Chains A and B, each alone.
Chain A
Amino acid sequence: MHELILFAISIGAGFLGALLGLGGGMIIVPVLTLYLHVDIRYAIAASLISIVATSSGAAASFLKDHMTNLRVAVFLEIGTVAGAITGFLIASFIQAKILFLIFGFFLLFSAIMMFRKRGEDLATKDHPWSKALRLASSFPNEKGDRVEYKVEAVPQGLLYMYVAGILSALLGIGSGILKVLAMDGAMRLPIKVSSATSNFMIGVTATASAGAYFIQGSIRPEIAAPVAVGIIAGSWMGARVMMRMKPQLLRYIFVVLLSVVSVQMIMKGLA
């Protein structure tokens, strides 16, 4: 019965995640730990496998609209994969209550970031690494014309990605918020390009730690199956109704919810 409840919650998490442009990890890990009392290490591992599923399933749609910068994605995956390995190592030695604290503070940070207005501030010059790797590209605007863009601050972007990789492995999340921050904040890529490229990369980042957790035996089918199947189904449904909904009100409700859960996670860490 508990598995069916988890399955239903996972469908909801996938649905909400697709509407708000988030992975389901930020919802699933607190549900598993705070309400179903599952150890946080099992919760993180189960969440990671669902991130692999949603990202791999959606990769085609991210590429089809020609917003994804494949070269930037491959380059930054080096940072996220290295970070995920570090995160997995840290998670193997850290106490569960520290994980609750980090998770709680990250949720709080995410809630604040959801209010951030993303302004388009494109790079004016190409970084030498960008020139060497031909990272600059173009994307189609609303009229269908190609808009050229450059890529700045490539080393900083890589460093942000390393941190995103650590948090992904440590907390079982996609860290999309940090990835977008690196790409449209530091590297000053167009918003649509950074969102699409970030989503495209999430599966590889999550696999770097999900594979290690899987072999270690932390991904238990009793938890991972209802979570992954539920999130796949929920995000599929969410993607279909997304076009017909205005998620602004939903976003505000979610921010409040996120703040409450973050306090609960911090309290659990301090207990």
Chain B
Amino acid sequence: MKSDVYSLELFISKFLRYGVLLAGALMLAGWMSQISFTRDVFLEFQTYHDARLFQVLTDALQDQRWGILITYAGMMILISLPLLRVLMTFAVFLKTRDYKMAGLSALVLLGLAASLLLGFEL
């Protein structure tokens, strides 16, 4: 039973590795397509200003700045990978009828979902 859980987790982790490579490739492609060799892009980040994700994405879509959108796609994939890992771990524990551990995994998932909701609120 235990080795089943571990081999499934190993499979999930290998799958995550490909996910990281895909996300990294998208971020690299998006970043390279909009890189500036003349201006200091960090100047505008010297002070913090509110720019909600959906607003930034909408603006980028309207201005057809595909590089930014591709980079965001890569970041989105990256952030969803650990969520996916916990979801799959939950499924594995459920499949092996380890209900206590399945419950704990579900609690971790709930926490991750709550943190995403907080991002909308604050």
By a beta-carbon cutoff of 8 Å, the part of chain A in contact with chain B is: 1-4, 6, 36-39, 41-42, 49, 52-53, 55-57, 59-60, 62-64, 66, 70-71, 74-75, 77-78, 81-82, 84-85, 88-89, 92, 96, 132-133, 203-204, 206-226, 228-229, 232
- How many chain B residues touch A (CB < 8 A): the figure is 64
**B31 & A226 in contact (Cβ 8 Å cutoff):** yes
**A88 & B89 in contact (Cβ 8 Å cutoff):** no
Cβ-defined partner of B36 (8 Å) among A3, A56, A64, A203: A3
* A-B pairs with beta carbons under 8 Å apart, 29 shown: A2-B42, A3-B41, A37-B42, A42-B48, A49-B75, A53-B78, A56-B16, A56-B81, A56-B85, A57-B16, A57-B21, A66-B6, A70-B6, A71-B101, A74-B93, A77-B86, A78-B104, A81-B108, A88-B118, A204-B82, A211-B79, A211-B112, A211-B119, A214-B53, A218-B48, A219-B75, A221-B75, A226-B31, A229-B31
**B13 & A63 in contact (Cβ 8 Å cutoff):** yes
**A74 & B108 in contact (Cβ 8 Å cutoff):** yes
Cβ-defined partner of B24 (8 Å) among A74, A84, A88, A228: A228
By a beta-carbon cutoff of 8 Å, the part of chain B in contact with chain A is: 5-6, 9-10, 13-14, 16-17, 19-21, 23-24, 27-28, 30-31, 35-38, 40-42, 45-48, 50-53, 55-56, 68, 71-72, 74-76, 78-79, 81-83, 85-86, 89, 93, 100-101, 104-105, 107-108, 111-112, 114-116, 118-120, 122
CB contact under 8 A between A57 and B71, given known A133-B101, A211-B116: no
Q: In the complex, what's the smallest C-beta–C-beta distance from A42 to chain B, in angstroms?
A: 5
Q: What's the Cα separation between A214 and B117 when bound, in Å?
A: 11
Which of A60, A96, A218, A225 is most buried by chain B, counting CB atoms within 10 A of its CB? A225
**A208 & B115 in contact (Cβ 8 Å cutoff):** yes
Looking across the interface, which residue of chain A has its beta carbon closest to that of B48? A39
Q: In the complex, what's the smallest C-beta–C-beta distance from B116 to chain A, in angstroms?
A: 5
Q: In the complex, what's the smallest C-beta–C-beta distance from A45 to chain B, in angstroms?
A: 10
Cβ-defined partner of A209 (8 Å) among B30, B81, B115: B115
